[in-house]
């Protein structure tokens, strides 16, 4: 999840490597690779919150860029773990009413410098990135925040109100977004659910508190 600024990051990596002795990368014989460890919610906590694991999948970013007149390759592997919550809605049948996503992305740290731009992103910026990926999300407004402790780290969970377009219907939703660093990776968690779903905020916060990294 290095977004559109990843090109800047990989150029900075190249400049640092030019003085750090990574000969294989400098000569172009091999790519420079970074890989995050997967993150997930403890299974019991997800079940208690009513969420079901969909899958955990790698998201690889493979960038080729020019340095010193030659092309170089950087590969960063992120992991995305998806959960969903479904409910029976009477005559409408069963419908998905909540989604929760955990993303782990490598810090890309070279010579003491963290080059993954996610490290400097605010929760508001992360929501903007979500909006860029999902055109049906609009009218985003921050409405609150709360501090929680996850993996021994206190982090701020920011709450946003928004409008989502689902199958042609507009639905008012809440989004909860947080980011923290654990070891060599940044962890981003995002929960989305309809505003009319009572009690779901605490379910999402409980999911955040139960994040495990590396996932077992």
How much is the pTM?
0.82
Report all structural domains of the chain as residue ranges with CATH numbers, in order of start.
35-59+77-212 (3.40.1000.10)
Confidence check: pLDDT of 81 > 50: yes
List, in order, residues 6 or more apart from 145 with CB less than 8 Å away: 123, 156, 157, 158, 159
Mean pLDDT of 61-74: 66
Q: What is the pLDDT of residues 175-193, one digit of tens each?
A: 999 999 999 999 999 999 9
What Cα–Cα distance (Å) separates residue 1 from each residue in 5, 125, 136, 188, 195? Answer: 10, 13, 20, 10, 27
Which residue did the predictor score with more confidence, 177 or 19? 177
Confidence check: pLDDT of 201 > 90: yes
Query: Three-state SS for 90?
Result: helix
Sign of CA dihedral 166, 171, 176, 179: positive
pLDDT of residue 2: 39
pLDDT of residue 181: 95
Mean pLDDT of 55-79: 76
Name the residue with tokens 């790519």.
Answer: 31
Whole-angstrom distance, CA of residue 107 vs CA of residue 37: 11
pLDDT of residue 203: 97
pLDDT of residue 65: 57
Whole-angstrom distance, CA of residue 6 vs CA of residue 159: 27
């Amino acid at each position: 999840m290095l977004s559109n600024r990843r090109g800047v990051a990989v150029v900075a990596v190249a400049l640092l490597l030019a003085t750090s002795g990574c000969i294989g990368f400098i000569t172009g014989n091999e790519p420079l690779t970074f890989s995050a460890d997967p993150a997930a919610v403890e299974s019991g906590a997800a079940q208690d919150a009513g969420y079901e694991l969909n899958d955990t999948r790698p998201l690889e970013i493979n960038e080729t860029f020019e340095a010193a007149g030659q092309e170089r390759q950087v590969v960063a592997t992120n992991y995305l773990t998806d959960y969903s919550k479904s409910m029976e809605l009477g005559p409408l049948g069963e419908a998905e009413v909540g989604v929760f996503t955990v993303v782990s992305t490598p810090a890309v740290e070279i010579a003491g410098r963290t080059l993954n731009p996610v490290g400097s992103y605010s929760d508001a910026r992360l929501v903007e990135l979500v909006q860029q990926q999902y055109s049906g999300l609009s009218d985003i407004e921050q409405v609150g925040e709360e501090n929680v402790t996850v993996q021994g780290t206190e982090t701020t969970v920011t709450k946003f109100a928004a409008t989502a377009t689902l199958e042609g219907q507009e639905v008012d939703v809440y989004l909860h977004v947080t980011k923290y660093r654990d070891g060599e990776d940044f962890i981003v968690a995002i929960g989305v659910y309809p505003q009319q779903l009572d009690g779901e905020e605490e379910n999402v916060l409980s999911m955040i508190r139960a994040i495990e990294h590396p996932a077992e």
